[in-house]
Structure 1
Amino acid sequence: MNIYSYHGIRPVIKPSAYIHPQAVIIGHVEIGEEVYIGPQAVIRGDWGKILIKDGANVQENCTLHVFPNIETILEESAHIGHGAIIHSAHIGKNCLVGMNAVVMDKAVIGDECIIGALAFVPAYFKSEDRKLIVGSPAKVIRDVSDEMISWKTKGTQLYQELAREAKEAILPCEPLSEFKEQSPSKIVDYNIWQDVK
């Protein structure tokens, strides 16, 4: 794993978290239980603290960083989509940050919000709980429905399950040289897309 101290401050990672070997974790970072950190994610706690609470996930190619005297916080079950950037911001419980979205300094996102893909959330932006936030610059366009939160929660549960199983399920291997039928040892069998509006 690519885990580094910064001036003697070492990351703290709970045993049930999964950190992909190609992720980079530096300095003052605390990672909770059943957190999933994907390949090429960079979590750089050099100038301040980054706190990733239980059940959150940070997917491939995400960047989390922090300015001095500010914290970057992902509350429980925060879901940070592929390629997103969180910079000195506070993401509420059970939020979704869409793919390639950017959330800037001292933004505070309420619980159970959804930030759309490619959104740019400017510094000092604040939102109440359960808001749908989209655009560049981002704005609140409506409330998040019960159906949307149910869909989001099920998606995050997939990543929590992945964190639980990944140490034994994601293994280096040599590729096959011919196409052949392969069956996974485990099938994810529920449809998270049903009833989404």
Structure 2
Amino acid sequence: MIGKNVLTDFSARASEPVIGSFTFVHPLAAVIGNVILGDNIMVSPGASIRGDEGQPLYVGSDSNVQDGVVIHALETELDGKPVEKNLVEVDGKKYAVYVGNRVSLAHQVQVHGPAVIRDDTFVGMKSLVFKSYVGSNCVIEPGVLLMGVTVADGRYVPAGSVVKTQEQADALPVITDDYPMKEMNKGVLHVNKALARGYLAAGS
């Protein structure tokens, strides 16, 4: 389903999603309201990208939003005025959620704004990113909870970690050449980009 959001006291405008070239939204996914999707994105069955409370929600080109992923955010407007604490700024523009280019959001990931995930980062299955900033070239292994922290570029977060203080985030390990998941995102990106184009060509 692709459709507009409804008018409320925290959303004064009904917005239609903006969807880039060669981006495939599966019929069993939901993309609603003030959502901007770049090019070559695969949005898989059961995913929900709902820009009807916090908005806008942005996903950059060549990224993927896998099965059961939820992207949503706290309200960014109330009675016509911005709720600044729930907005993030990237490259001079404000968002409720910003997901960069070539980012993989694996099965059942939740990204709840205010949140930023920068380019070339992999977020593993069943992880939660909330009120957090994740840098570029990171790996969030499966089952991670990030809340209220900034993760520097090129770090990984071990599976099952709960990271709720900046001290914990600053102590996260740096990705080195011998890190087993260092190249994982490249394969995931390749597969999902090909799937998006294949499903579009098949008229699904």
TM-score calculated relative to the size of structure 1: 0.80
Distance in 2, Cα, partners of 1:155 & 1:118: 18
- The answer for the alignment partner of 1:23 in structure 2 is 29
Which structure 2 residue ranges, 5 or more long, are not aligned?
8-13, 77-86, 88-95
Three-state SS of the structure 2 residue aligned to 1:163 is helix
Three-state SS of the structure 2 residue aligned to 1:154 is helix
Aligned counterparts, 1:1-197, within 5 A: 2-6=1-5, 7=7, 8-47=14-53, 48-69=55-76, 70=87, 71-88=96-113, 89-105=115-131, 107-122=132-147, 124-134=148-158, 135-138=160-163, 139-140=168-169, 141-146=172-177, 148-169=181-202, 171=204
Distance in 2, Cα, partners of 1:170 & 1:99: 28
**The 10-residue stretch of structure 1 (144-153 or 17-26) with the greater mean CA deviation from structure 2:** 144-153
Distance in 2, Cα, partners of 1:72 & 1:50: 5
Deviation at 1:50, TM superposition (A): 0.4
Which structure 1 residue ranges, 5 or more long, are not aligned?
172-197
Distance in 1, Cα, partners of 2:75 & 2:141: 28
Aligned residues: 168
Q: After TM superposition, which residue ranges in structure 1, 4 or more long, deviate above 4 angstroms?
A: none
Three-state SS of the structure 1 residue aligned to 2:2 is strand
Deviation at 1:102, TM superposition (A): 0.6
- The answer for the alignment partner of 1:189 in structure 2 is none
Which structure is larger by alpha-carbon Rg, 1 or 2? 1
Distance in 2, Cα, partners of 1:43 & 1:72: 10
Deviation at 1:31, TM superposition (A): 0.5
Distance in 2, Cα, partners of 1:22 & 1:111: 30
Q: Check the 8 A contact 1:54/1:77 in 2, yes or no.
A: yes
**Amino acid paired to 2:189:** T
**Amino acid paired to 1:130:** G
CA RMSD of aligned residues (A): 1.6
Deviation at 1:170, TM superposition (A): 7.5
TM-score calculated relative to the size of structure 2: 0.77
**The 10-residue stretch of structure 1 (156-165 or 94-103) with the greater mean CA deviation from structure 2:** 156-165
- The answer for the alignment partner of 1:192 in structure 2 is none
1:30-81: per-residue Cα shift (whole Å, max 9, x none)? Answer: 0010001000000110121100110010000110001122211110011000
Q: Which structure ranks higher in relative contact order (CA pairs < 8 Å, sequence separation ≥ 6)?
A: 2
**The 10-residue stretch of structure 1 (2-11 or 148-157) with the greater mean CA deviation from structure 2:** 148-157
Deviation at 1:169, TM superposition (A): 4.4
